[in-house]
Every structure is written in C-alpha cells, then in structure tokens.
Amino acid sequence: MRHLACVAGGAAVLLALSSPRAQEPEPAAEEPAAAGARPADPQGAQGEGEGGELEGAGAPEARPEAPERPRPPQEKQARASQPPAAPAAAAGREPLEPGFRERARFSLGPLELRPIALLALQAAPYVGDDALSQAGDSAEQPGFRLRRVRAGLYGDVAGLVRFAISTELAGGDEGTARIHEAWGGVTAARALEVYAGARTVPFSRSAMLGAGEGALTERPLAVRAIAPFTQVGIQAEGHLQDRAFSYHAGVYNAFQRADQFYAGQSESLAPLGNRFEGIAVAGRLATEPLGPLGRTLQDVARSPFRVGAGADGFFSNGGARTLYGASADVLVHASGLHALGEVLWTGASPRSVPTQPIAQVTSVSSLALVFEAGYMIVARKLGVSGRVEWIDPNMDVDDEGDNLVLTGGVSYHAYDDLVKAQLDYTHREELGGLSLANDALILQLQLSL
C-alpha cells in the first residue's frame, strides 16, 4: 500500500508540472519600499520631473519579461477574424469640412499635386426674344447650356517652383477642347515670384477672381467686355506682409478684341507665335491691410471686417488696334456682408494700315461702373446678392449699346463650395435707341475643386 501511495503521489506531481500554468514563472516579489519613500500619486503628478520620471529615482533595473502564455487555437482564430480597429479621424475632422481643398492633394517626394476641376451646367427657363450671345447675353433660347468644363493639375515642387495646366472642354458650340491656362513659375520668395506661360492678366479684381468663385452665375458684363483675361507672356508679382501690399507686372503678346464691344477680347494662346500683333504690358497694385480677403467674392465664413483695394492698367501696341485700359476696385467683407465697387475704362484706336481686317475706323472710348453687394444668411450655406452695372461702350454715341444691367440672385453652398446652386435673374435696360427684350432667368449647378 505504501508503494502504491508513493506512485500515485509522484504521478500527481508530474501532472501538475506538465500543465501550462505551472510553466509560467512566478512574479518577482516586490522589493520593499526605500525608507522615507512616498507612495505614488494616483494622478501621476506628484514627485515627477520632466519626462514623467520620479525625481531622484535612478534607472530601474531591467527584468526579464514573462513569456506570453500560449493561446488555444480557437482564441487565435477568433482574434485573427476580428477587423482592425478603425483609425481615429485626423484631429476629429470631417472629410469635407472647410479647408478640405487645401488638403486635397497628394505628394510624390518633394512634388505636391492638386486637381483642378470645374463643371457648370446652366438651365434657362426664361430668355427674352431679343437675347443674343454676341451682345453678352447668357442664353439665346430657353434650354440647357454646359457653361464650363475644366480639368487640370496644379503642382508645387518644395515651394520653389509652381505650375498649373488646365483645359477648357466646353469651348464653342462644338465643345472643342482648348488650353485654359498653362504656366510655370519660380516662387522661392513671396516678395518676387516670376511666371511664364498662359496666365490671367492682372486687370480688374472680378476678372482675376476664379470663374467659380463669384456670388452670381457670371462675372459683370462690363468686365467680360473689357478685361483681357488669359494671355501668353511673362509676369512678376510679389505679396508682402500677408498681402498688405501686392504688385503685378507683365509683358504679353498684344491683345486682340472683337469689333462688337460686348464680344470682348480674344484669349490668344499663340500656338503659332505672335504672328500679326505687337507687345502688351500690364500692371496692378493692391492692398489688403487688415488681412487676406479669401478666395471667394462672398464672405462665406462671415469673417471680421476686411477691406481690399486695387488699381491697374494695360497698354497694347497691336498690329490692328492700339488698346489701353485702366480700372480700380474696392471690396469689403464684414460679418457675412460683401460689397464690391469697380470702375473700368478702355480705349481702342485703329491702325492706319491694320495687319488684320477690322470694322473700326475711329478711336472709341468706353466706360463702365459696377456695384455689387450681398449677404450670407447662413454662413457657408445660403447667400443673396445683387449687382448694378452702368455701361457706355462708346462715350461719343448714345444708342442701345448703353446699358443699365440689374442682376439679383440666391446661392446655396455645400461642402465648402464643392457644390453650389445659383439662381439669377438679369434685366438689361437699353438707355438709348431701341428697348430690347433680353432679360434672362438662369439656374446654375456647379462643382468646383
């Protein structure tokens, strides 16, 4: 019996030693606290110096970590089948919260690329019988119009070089693609940046504003008729003290304009070079003394009081006409209110022997005044705007070309202007000659990135 009892006891000891729990090392006994040591504060605040280490404590003695307890196969399989924990949103941001445009870019080493996209579809439920596109009207018949389709890329190489290439895919009735902008520049210093290529001429605040950044569906009719917009050349600009002072100066191929005043100037991209024209120069001085006004004409964020002012001019020694112009503007933002005033003047003198056939035979001076105001009823969401224009295409003649243009509209913004819906009504009143039925109601849906 004594022999059997010894065997049974030895078997029990072997079984206990073979179990996984028996293989785990026992936790090391805690060393007694040093004499006079304080108990650790539950908040970890008492007795800690920089880096969260106890003051006066030496480096703790390294101890071997206990090996991980082997897990049953079922537990391993269950853990492997669980989805990984979702990462927390970056700083709690929503994907399309204000400022997402600045984050919508991707990097390839020192190169950062940002997409350029603009899509604008217009619907015209009502258009007057006398409306004519050559006279600057938005539509000639009720229906739909693909107003703008632009796509491209903006690039930045370590802040030293910037470039942009974009195309306009809704050019003309045939929808033929053409270059909208294509430029590159050295931008190492904000005080002096130099650009070359097809870029917007620094003339008129409304013309320099992005096509999708206005309060109403179209820029002022006077600006569309007078401003040179995109031309090919070399331009220098500088911005000092957070745009408290800015300047622009450029040299371009000479400008060309249509015989019809409201048809505006041609945006020549010179694919065959400067074949028939001369040289044009343009310059602008501007100030925003209380801080930058932002990229949109509306005060969508209902910001504190801001004001900006600018003055500019151009001279073009073309082969068919000599063109010259000047403008001045003031823009105010204050708690959701925006107010813009612009005055534009231009002149055109035909050459005695023009390099291209033109209908103009005498010098013409034109003058226009623009005033616009609006208010954001709901910040970044809902706004209303109104605009008044007085236009005299030929200051020596009174005819139906002299216009008073009244435009009013409402705009709804979503996702920081990624999507915008606008409804405008425009009334044109001829101040001389015949009165024409050329009013229009325009609904525009826009996606802008």
| pLDDT per position as a tens digit, 292-320 | 998 999 999 999 999 999 999 999 999 89
What phi and psi, each to the nearest 5 degrees, are found at residue 90?
-60, 110
Residue 333 near residue 303, CB atoms below 8 Å? yes
**pLDDT tens, 99-142?**
777 778 889 999 999 999 999 999 999 999 999 998 999 999 99
Provide mean pLDDT across the span 368-379: 97
Amino acid letter, 60 = P
What single-letter DSSP state applies at residue 215? S
Look at the block and give the residue holding tokens 């409402």. 410
Q: What single DSSP character describes residue 47? A: T
pLDDT of 87 strictly over 50: no
Q: CA–CA separation, 384 vs 422, rounded Å?
A: 10
Dihedrals phi, psi of 323, to nearest 5 degrees: -115, 145
Q: Give the least confident one: 89-98, 240-249, 398-407.
A: 89-98
pTM of the model: 0.78
Residue 12: phi, psi to the nearest 5?
-65, -40
Q: Which residues contact 397 (CB under 8 A, 6 or more apart)?
A: none
pLDDT at site 403 = 97
Average pLDDT over the chain reads 83
* Share above pLDDT 90 across residues of the chain, in percent, rounded to a whole number: 65
Structure tokens at 256: 């060309």
Contact 372, 220 (CB under 8 A): yes
Q: Which of these, 124, 129, 167, 127, lies nearest to 148 by C-alpha position?
A: 167
Nearest alpha carbon to residue 300 among 212, 369, 387: 212
Rounded distance, CA 404 to CA 390, Å? 5
pLDDT tens digits for 321-336?
999 999 999 999 999 9
Query: What are the structure tokens assigned to 230, written together?
Result: 């995109």
Highest mean pLDDT among 15-29, 255-269, 385-399: 385-399
Residues 6 or more apart whose CB falls under 8 angstroms from that of 431 comprise: 398, 402, 403, 404
Q: Is 436 helix (H, G, I), strand (E, B) or coil?
A: coil
Q: How confident is the model at residue 50 (pLDDT cuts 50, 70, 90)?
A: very low
Question: For residue 104, what pLDDT is reported?
Answer: 82
Q: How far apart are CA 257 and CA 220, in angstroms?
A: 18
- State how far the Cα of 260 lies from the Cα of 22, in Å rounded to an integer: 98
Residue 173: pLDDT band (50, 70, 90) is low
Q: Which long-range contacts (CB under 8 A, 24 or more apart) does 165-171 make?
A: 166/116, 170/146
Residues making up the chain, counted from first to last:
449
Of 254, 267, 252, nearest to 197 by C-alpha is 252
Per-residue pLDDT band for 73 (boundaries 50, 70, 90) equals very low
pLDDT at 17 over 60: no
**Highest mean pLDDT: which range of 94-98, 275-279, 344-348:** 344-348
Q: Which residues fall within 8 angstroms of residue 292, CB to CB, at 6 or more apart?
A: 242, 243, 306
Residue 47, pLDDT above cutoff 80? no
Q: Give residue 32's pLDDT band: very low, low, confident or very high (50, 70, 90).
A: very low
Amino acid identity at 26: E
